[in-house]
Structure 1
Amino acid sequence: MKTFKSILAAILIVGTAGFLMSCESELESKGTASIGVTDAAVDAENISGVYLKVNEVQATAQGKTKTVVAFDSPKTFNVMDYQSGATYDLGEGQIDAGSYSELRFILDEGSYVKFKDGTTADLDVPSGTTSGYKVKGDYEINSDSRTNLVVDIDLRKAFVKTGSGEYKLRSTARIVNKDRSAVINGTVSGNTADKVVVYAYEKGTYKESETAEPADGESRFENSINSAVVANGQFTMAYMEEGEYDLIAVAYDENPEEDTYAFRSASEVDMMVAGSLLSVLKVEANANINVLINLDF
Structure 2
Amino acid sequence: MNLSRLFPLLLAAPIALASCSKDNDSSSATSSKLQVRMTDAPGDYQQVVLDVRQIEVHLKEDTNPDGWQVLPFQAQTINILEYVNGRSALLVDTDFAPGDLKEVRLILGPDSYLIGRDGQRYDLKTPSGQTSGVKLKLDKATLREKETFQLLLDFDVAKSIVERGNWKPGNDKKERYLLKPVVRVLAQDIRGGLRGTITPAAALPQVLAIRSSITVPDTFSTAADASGAFQLSSLPSGTYRVQFYPSTTAPANQPAYKVVTRTGVTVTNDQVTDLGQVSVN
TM-score (normalised: structure 1): 0.45
Higher radius of gyration, 1 or 2: 1
TM-score (normalised: structure 2): 0.47
